[in-house]
Structure 1
């Protein structure tokens, strides 16, 4: 399954009880449709994501980054401390493709003085 969404918080690296590292992050996906009355309805779905292959990816998974994820989805349900029933979606991802938009991608700068093309003297400006 593939999903495309925006990270809602910076990724965190956690360790399991068996000392295995996992990268956890949350992604929001947006969808819209028109109801029978012709009104546009916006719907946001949140996924709690886990990536087990390399903890280094957490450095580039920052809040606001648009990502395309490949993996499998599962649902979970629990009763909160207040007695209320809750449900959520987990996404175990095996592939991450960045589409930009996060804090780090905004601060990327191109180095100056590395233009290898020759300037032409006959430019009109």
Structure 2
């Protein structure tokens, strides 16, 4: 049985772009910058820039709550599609179709709030009053050995 699941954690490179199809279905696109788990020859981390697409209510929720720079987790499936551009050349696009997006930081950093929104196929939202990972503006120092994958 084939499996196509992707889980990513990264930061938005720009605000999400919300549009509607001609039939009125919401679709949001954004790009997630995901650090690679190793450093390059200059001892710097590189990142991959992954295009994310969300649909319907999830698209509207992402457009309302996500902003450039926010730490976000995305779960979905990898999709490769193609089209012919204006020059008649075939263009291939690889993107993640999100079915669950978790907002890992408070939307208003200055307020010191601790909201954590999770939304997905079940279309749920929740608030955690005691967030142990409340954003204090500093990166979290986690060794690669501490990660379960």
Do the structures match in fold with TM over 0.5?
A: yes
Q: How many matched pairs?
A: 105
Correspondence list, 1:81-96, <5 A = 88-96=93-101
1:4-19 to 2 correspondences below 5 Å: 4-19=9-24
Instruction: Please list the CA deviations of residues 24-53 of structure 1 after superposition, one character each: whole Å capped at 9, or x if unmatched.
Output: 211111104367xxx446332112211114
Unaligned runs of 5+ in 2: 1-5, 114-149
Give distance in 2, aligned partners of 1:64 and 1:34: 21
Question: Is the radius of gyration larger for structure 1 or structure 2?
Answer: 1
Query: Secondary structure of 1:50's partner?
Result: strand
TM-score (norm 2): 0.56
- Alignment-derived partner of residue 50 in structure 1: 53
Q: TM-score, normalised by structure 1?
A: 0.65
Runs of 4+ deviating beyond 2 Å: 32-35, 39-43, 74-89, 107-110
Structure 1 residue 75 displacement after superposition: 3.5
Question: Which residue is equivalent to 1:122?
Answer: none
Query: Per chain length, whose mean CA-contact separation is higher, i.e. which structure has more relative contact order (CA < 8 Å, sep 6+)?
Result: 1
- Higher strand proportion (structure 1 or 2): 1
Instruction: Report the aligned-residue RMSD.
Output: 3.0
